[in-house]
Amino acid sequence: MRDGSKAAVLAVAVLAIGGCTVRTADSTDSTAKAPTRELVAWVDDVCNLTKWLADTQETGKRLASTTAADESTESEVNSYLNTASTYVDTMADEFAALPPVDIAGTDELADGFATALNNVRSEVTNQTADPESVHSMPLQDKLNRAARVADLFNSVRPAGPDLPELMRRSPDLAAAHELAPRCHP
């Protein structure tokens, strides 16, 4: 065997005997346990909900800055305003329904999103409650209303650390994130 091959075999043997480690943000090594299915499912749900929120925020920002006055824009703004109330209700309820996880900060993250969404829920509903009147508005009024709704969605942030920060603090959470399918494009 060549020296390079011997070194590679030795490295693999050391890793196999010693176990894999995850490097955390504070540059200390700690061994991550294999994540439970429950933890992977929790992270997967959080990724799905935060992507949904980010998509809703991005659509609102784009509509708020649009200058196009065509049928496509009107259709999109109608759709945004028609779904905003349902989206805020569903997201708030789904964050609130996430099961407790035994990792510091995770329950606070879910509760923080649920609270932030509940804080804007009534105003989003007020802006979008009557689809008939919204549909009969001039396009510019709809765009102005969509901008107000977008501002409400853009204000939604948990009070504490976000998911990336929690993953830096917890190798177990980071390992679960790697396995959660909706956390990766």
Res. 30: pLDDT tops 70: no
pLDDT interval class at 32 (50, 70, 90): low
Average confidence score pLDDT of the chain: 84
Q: How far is Cα 155 from Cα 65, in angstroms, rounded to an integer?
A: 17
In this predicted structure, the answer to whether residue 160 has a pLDDT above a threshold of 60 is yes
Which whole number is the average pLDDT over 143-171?
94
| Bridge pairing between strands 22-23 and 29-30 | antiparallel
Two structure tokens written together for 29: 């090594």
pLDDT at residue 99 in the model: 97
Q: Give the pLDDT confidence score for residue 79 in this predicted structure.
A: 93
**Structural contact between residues 153 and 88, judged by C-beta atoms closer than 8 angstroms:** yes
In this predicted model, what pLDDT tens digit does every residue of 47-85 receive, in sequence order?
999 999 999 999 999 998 888 788 889 999 999 999 999
pLDDT at 5 over 50: no
Helix axes 71-97, 139-154, angle to 10 degrees: 30
pLDDT digits (tens, 9 = 90+) for 100-148: 999 999 999 999 999 999 999 999 999 987 777 788 889 999 999 999 9
Residue with tokens 């102005």: 144
Proportion of the chain in helix, strand, coil states, percent, rounded to 5:
75, 0, 25
Provide the pLDDT for residue 134: 82
Q: How confident is the model at residue 26 (pLDDT cuts 50, 70, 90)?
A: very low
